[in-house]
Amino acid sequence: MRPLNRCLRRHPIYKLIISILFVGWAFDAYASEFPKRSDVYNQAGTEKIEIDCKAKSAEIIICDFNEVEIILGPSAHDPLKRKAEIQVILDQFKREGSTKTCELMKAFSNALERKEMPNRDISGVLDKEIFKNEIERMLAENTQKVTDLKRQTLAALDMCREPNLQNAEKLNDIYFRKKSKTCKVWTHQFSRQFNADGDGRWVSNHGPVGQCGEVHISVLKQDEEFSLGWNYQTQKIVTNKNAKPEHVWACGDRDESIKTYKWRSTENYVGCEYLKFR
């Protein structure tokens, strides 16, 4: 039997099988030290990222990110922006064509206050059947949304009767209160390649991309106290701060701070009354 074992060990197929098993074992052992599936949370904000990584080799992993962020409404009204918004309201109610807007506000008021539905369409503004169904649904819910809509409608009717500065300020402040209590749910999906950097640490250097020449430097690292937990740190560096893309933030105004995410979940009071999905 021993001579047969020695023969097997010398056989090239035997050596190939052993080498494949060894490499596979080594690869699995090394690849187990990355976050195959992990959730991380921004410790200073309202963001969660789901990370799903797959090994490309012993030194490289590809990670898919699913980022969910709750964006809070503004806490204070900028004076210059408020002044501009009030002027827009004044112009809207003073110009020709505001008649249909006021007719719509009156229909809302009658429906919400007295449950009287319009008996005709308002051309280009209101379909009476759709309007009726929507109002009935809202009244059945009897939520804060109905209360806010009543307040907004009455303020708009004041503007219809007297389109002056005082009524425009009142209507704009009602608009702003709702805006400040509205949280936007923002989602973003992307992928990154990470390279092994030793000591349970993986590094990604992505970019530069876009007109601003953004470079994204990210690190995945095992938590020092909880080996099953992974933490994530990322920073966006703008290499072309003078560029000014259309319809988006100027490159020089973009956030370049370091963001830290940890495996521990956080609790945040955000005070939302409305949610808007972007």
Element housing 203 (H / E): strand 201-209
Distance, in Å, from the CA atom of 100 to the CA atom of 237, rounded to the nearest integer, reads 49
47-55 and 230-238 strand pairing? unpaired
* Domain ranges, residue 254: 33-72+184-277
172 with 113, same domain: the answer is: yes
Residue 261 lies in a domain: yes
Spell out the residues 6+ positions from residue 8 whose beta carbon is closer than 8 angstroms to its own: 14
**pLDDT at position 45, please?**
80
Compute the distance between CA of residue 111 and CA of residue 20 in angstroms, rounded to an integer. Answer: 75
The domain boundary, picked from 129, 156, 180, lies at 180
Is 272 inside a domain boundary? Answer: yes
Q: How does pLDDT run along the chain (278 residues), one tens digit per residue?
A: 444 455 445 555 544 443 433 334 333 444 447 788 889 999 888 899 999 999 999 899 999 999 999 988 887 788 888 899 999 999 888 775 567 788 888 888 888 887 788 777 766 666 778 888 888 888 887 678 888 888 999 999 999 888 899 999 999 999 999 999 999 999 999 999 999 988 888 999 998 998 899 999 999 998 888 878 899 999 999 999 888 887 677 888 888 999 999 998 888 888 888 888 87
Which of 180, 208, 240 is the endpoint of a domain? 180
| Domain total in the chain | 2
Q: What is the pLDDT of residue 198?
A: 81
Q: Is the same domain home to 216 and 258? A: yes
Instruction: Report yes or no: 211 and 252 within 8 Å, Cβ to Cβ.
Output: no
Task: Let me know if residue 7 belongs to a domain.
Answer: no
Do residues 213 and 200 both lie within one domain?
Answer: yes
